[in-house]
Structure 1
Amino acid sequence: MRIGVLALQGAVTEHIASIEKTGAQGLPIKRVEELDGVEGLIIPGGESTTIGKLMRKYGFIEAIREFSGQGKPIFGTCAGMIVLAKRMAGDEAGHLELMDITVARNAFGRQRESFECDLEIKGIADPVRAVFIRAPLIEEVGPDVEVLTLYKDEIVTARQGHLLACSFHPELTDDYRLHQYFADMVEDSMTANL
């Protein structure tokens, strides 16, 4: 099983290391045609506006929409969640507009307000360590979106079918269980598509 990490910006090598702890193969995705070689895709954190511009420049917007249209799982972390969202708080335009969520950028404040905490995530037995860095949050979800985690009554992890999103950086800890959750989604989708 091969899981790609969009390698335009962000903690690509850390995501690949977490993927490989699950037993899957992690691959950096730098060109559109490389999407054909993976069964799932992670869009990492970074700066969402920059990621969006680079995705447009290199043709990734339509390619990832097509990837999603095939039912292949996509996991957006931090800025990656913003990129996946259908709507942005305020009137800012979205990027991929795939996941039926409304996202507020930098909802937890600036870099100096970064923090770590333990979160209960639906579908994972024990609390997961989460690193929040200039993190967004989910303000609203559509009817098909399942909320997986709340932090102080704010939505920070959600799933809609083959789409998974979180506000934090799961790749920056030694705890790879959220990557395992995603790898299980990828495996399930591969089985369903046989």
Structure 2
Amino acid sequence: MKIGVLALQGAVREHLSMLESAGAEPLPVKRPDALEQVDGLVIPGGESTTIGKLMHQYGLMEPIRQRALAGMPIFGTCAGLILLAKRIEGTEQSHLGLMDLTVRRNAFGRQRESFEARLRVDGVADDFEAVFIRAPLIVETGPAVDVLSSVEERIVIVQEGHLLGASFHPELTDDPRLHHHFVGMVRHSKAVSA
């Protein structure tokens, strides 16, 4: 089972390593032909506006959207979550618009306000260590979105069917359990479509 990591910006190598430790065959995705080879996709953190522009430049925005609409699982972390959301407060930036969410960019503060927190993640872990760096906040969810975790009543992990989003950087720890969860989502998706 091949799972891609959008390799335009962010902690690509760390996500590839986490996916491998979770039992997947990881593949960097920079072009549409690589996207066609994967069963699921991780969109890492970075700067969401820049990643969106690069997705257009490399011809990936619409192919990713179409694959997602056809049921391919996608896991967006930090900026990747912003790109997955249907609504971004205060901007009309170009994004995938797949998850029924409203997000607020940099809601947890700038770089110097970065922090770590231990989270209870429904169905994944009771003690997941999360690294928040210029993290977005999920301020509103649609009725089909499951909230998997919150920090002080602020939503930080959500799942909507085959789409998973996290405000933080799970790839910056040694804990692969969230990636294991995503690999399980991809495995389930493959089994259903077989």
Q: What is residue 180 of structure 1 aligned with on the other side?
A: 180
Q: What is residue 43 of structure 2 aligned with on the other side?
A: 43
Q: Is the contact between residue 43 and residue 74 of structure 1 (CA under 8 Å) also seen in structure 2? A: yes
**Per-residue CA distance 1:19-67 (angstroms, 9 max, x = gap):** 0001111110011111111100000000000001101111111100111
Please state how far the C-alpha of 1:179 moved relative to its aligned partner. Answer: 0.2
Structure 1 residue 75 corresponds to structure 2 residue 78: no
Q: Is the contact between residue 74 and residue 163 of structure 2 (CA under 8 Å) also seen in structure 1? A: yes
In structure 2, what is the Cα distance between the partners aligned to 1:36 and 1:91? 30
Q: What is residue 150 of structure 1 aligned with on the other side?
A: 150
Please state how far the C-alpha of 1:91 moved relative to its aligned partner. Answer: 3.9
In structure 2, what is the Cα distance between the partners aligned to 1:134 and 1:180? 25
Structure 1 residue 125 corresponds to structure 2 residue 125: yes
Quick check: 164-173 or 62-71, which moved more? 62-71
Please state how far the C-alpha of 1:124 moved relative to its aligned partner. Answer: 1.3
Q: Is the contact between residue 19 and residue 179 of structure 1 (CA under 8 Å) also seen in structure 2? A: yes
Q: What is residue 59 of structure 2 aligned with on the other side?
A: 59
In structure 1, what is the Cα distance between the partners aligned to 2:163 and 2:65? 12
Residue identity over aligned pairs, in percent, reads: 61
The one-letter amino acid paired with 2:171 is: E
**Per-residue CA distance 1:124-173 (angstroms, 9 max, x = gap):** 13310100000001000011100011111111000000000000000000
Q: Is the contact between residue 49 and residue 93 of structure 2 (CA under 8 Å) also seen in structure 1? A: no
Q: Is the contact between residue 87 and residue 94 of structure 1 (CA under 8 Å) also seen in structure 2? A: no
Q: Is the contact between residue 86 and residue 94 of structure 1 (CA under 8 Å) also seen in structure 2? A: no
CA 169–107 in structure 1, closer or farther in 2 if over 3 Å, else same: same
Please state how far the C-alpha of 1:94 moved relative to its aligned partner. Answer: 4.5
Quick check: 7-16 or 59-68, which moved more? 59-68
The one-letter amino acid paired with 1:139 is: V
Q: What is residue 13 of structure 1 aligned with on the other side?
A: 13
CA root-mean-square deviation: 0.8
In structure 1, what is the Cα distance between the partners aligned to 2:169 and 2:125? 19
In structure 1, what is the Cα distance between the partners aligned to 2:38 and 2:93? 28
The one-letter amino acid paired with 2:184 is: D
Give TM-score, length-normalised by structure 2.
0.98
